[in-house]
Structure 1
Amino acid sequence: MATVQDSDFDSLVPGLPLSRRTFVGGSLAAGFALAVQPALGQSVVVTPADGLVAGEITVPAPDGVALKAYRAQPAGKGPFPTVLVVQEIFGVHEYIRDVCRRLARQGYQAIAPNLFQRQGDPAGIDSVADILAKVVSKVPDAQVLADLDATAAWAAANGGDGARLGITGFCWGGRITWLYAAHNPKLKAGVAWYGRLTGVASAMTPHHPIDVVDKISAPVLGLYGAKDQGIPVSDVDDMKADLAKAGKRVEFVVYPDAGHAFHADYRPSYRAADAADGWGRLLAWFKASGL
């Protein structure tokens, strides 16, 4: 069965190059919907909430929206170093919540805000093409960055350590991780999992990671797959060269046999060894960065 990656949302956003329109095609999209829809997937890694403070919270957003988020942290007073967890196109589903619990078991306060809340709920849409067209393509970067700022502020006032802030994100969230590293000068570190690095500017996405290299202030670890059909290794090489020229502290790991979404344990793309290696690198990166 053919599959489509969530990085292919490029093809449904107006103004992006035709060469990336690999998504369009009835049989491809139809096959993908049942193959990897998060509500149907079975996660390989299941992290219990025992001994943690975990559950839904509400974050006051700048525009007055009561932003829903999932928070997990160790029991106790804290303050704990905070990690913002940024979703894939499928929203804050069980896999993302489990990532928060995994981080909480390592001593972090991990929070995944629902960054699509205003635009719609991907869980109620059974077509990936519709998720991309009806929800993801309508989410402006400026809104996302402001919501992440609000989440960081909530964390600092509710058991988190505002001086120790990190971020990690997957696919759509991987791209946002790079952008947030250029947006928030107080960020200590970021880890971007197979996030898109290039693209054509639009009203919703005026800049892409490669456009904001000079503004990146936090050390970022990029984790990518050499067989990712949506993010060529040449894009990684270009980003790496630009960051090196700008004197930024970054590191890239490209897994030779991995494709896109190799950490997503509820999807056929999951590669257990590469996911485990990447997770270990994430923890080491955060600790080396003072988190």
Structure 2
Amino acid sequence: MTISSVAAVAGLPSATVAANVTERDVMVRTGDGMADAAMFHPAGAGSWPAVLMWPDILGLRPAFRDMGRRLAAAGYTVLVPNPFYRTRRAPVVTGAFDFNDPKQRDAIMSLRATLTDAGIAKDAAAFITFLDRQRATNRRKGAGVQGYCFSGPFAFQTAAVRSDRIRAVGTFHGGGLVTKEASSPHLLIPKTKASFVVAIARNDDQKQPDAKGILKASFAAAKRRAVVEVFPADHGWCVPGSQTYDQPSAERAWAELLRLYRTRLV
């Protein structure tokens, strides 16, 4: 998806989006090396709340650069990292990707297997620390984190490992938020100090219909404010260019995210 197409979805002229956002590629020091990432913030002098935007399993690529740019235009300092930096630089996928192609699917799942919960926790802490060192970050305001598909759990982990900073969490068609393992992301909720928006894909809900109830009960038990909703769209619907992109549902999810940030990142 190009800048112009993102601007059209956002209701903004492409020139306005480009002129109002400063962006640069950065390298972030982590416990395991240097992670490549993209950073965005409103143009001009000032500072804004920090947001860590974890990409989906296809990683840092033009679609997520566009999403980072769009969020920055709304008044945030945004970091979009390459989760697979230990293995290769972004983009890890170029051109069209077909999850129905076993060869392509196996290749990306092999990359996924290189990530561990411990590694993601270290990375999350490092990324928030990096954001807080930027002049464009207003550290007096809370920070946010959002995840998509496989990075939905990463958003929960970030909120737990940096509960001192994260005040808002958004997950969109997140996979594996509720499992039977002791490491299930939903068990991290009491360790957080955030409010949540959890947007669930209808086909994910069909496969795991009890997950939404478990999430709601977990949020209630921990006294965390949360919106947990099943959207009338399939897994991947929020990411422009995906095979299941659904613009009306994506725009509604985006509006929910901004409502959360405007309420909590103050």
Partner residue in 1 for 2:20: 51
- 2:179 aligned with 1:199, yes or no? yes
Q: Choose from 259, 262, 265 the match for 1:287.
A: 262
Secondary structure class of the residue paired with 1:131 = helix
How far apart are the structure 2 equivalents of 1:193 and 1:259? 11
The percent identity for this pair of structures is 23
- 2:45 aligned with 1:77, yes or no? yes
> Normalised by the size of structure 2, how large is the TM-score?
0.84
Partner residue in 2 for 1:104: 72
Aligned pairs for 1:132-281 within 5 A? 132=109, 134-158=110-134, 159-163=136-140, 164-185=142-163, 186-195=165-174, 196-199=176-179, 201=181, 207-228=183-204, 232-255=208-231, 257-281=232-256
How far apart are the structure 2 equivalents of 1:104 and 1:119? 28
Partner residue in 2 for 1:128: 105
Partner residue in 1 for 2:12: none
> Normalised by the size of structure 1, how large is the TM-score?
0.77
Q: Taking structure 1 as reference, are residues 139 and 169 closer, same or farther at Cα in structure 2, changes over 3 Å only?
A: same
Q: Is the 8 A contact 1:226 1:232 kept in 2?
A: no
- The structure showing larger relative contact order (alpha-carbon pairs under 8 Å, at least 6 residues apart) is 1
Q: Choose from 59, 69, 73 the match for 1:91.
A: 59
How far apart are the structure 1 equivalents of 2:239 and 2:105? 16
How far apart are the structure 1 equivalents of 2:82 and 2:180? 25
Structure 1 gaps of 5+ residues are 1-40
Secondary structure class of the residue paired with 2:139 = strand
- 2:38 aligned with 1:61, yes or no? no
How far apart are the structure 1 equivalents of 2:37 and 2:124? 11
Secondary structure class of the residue paired with 1:197 = coil
Q: Is the 8 A contact 1:120 1:135 kept in 2?
A: no
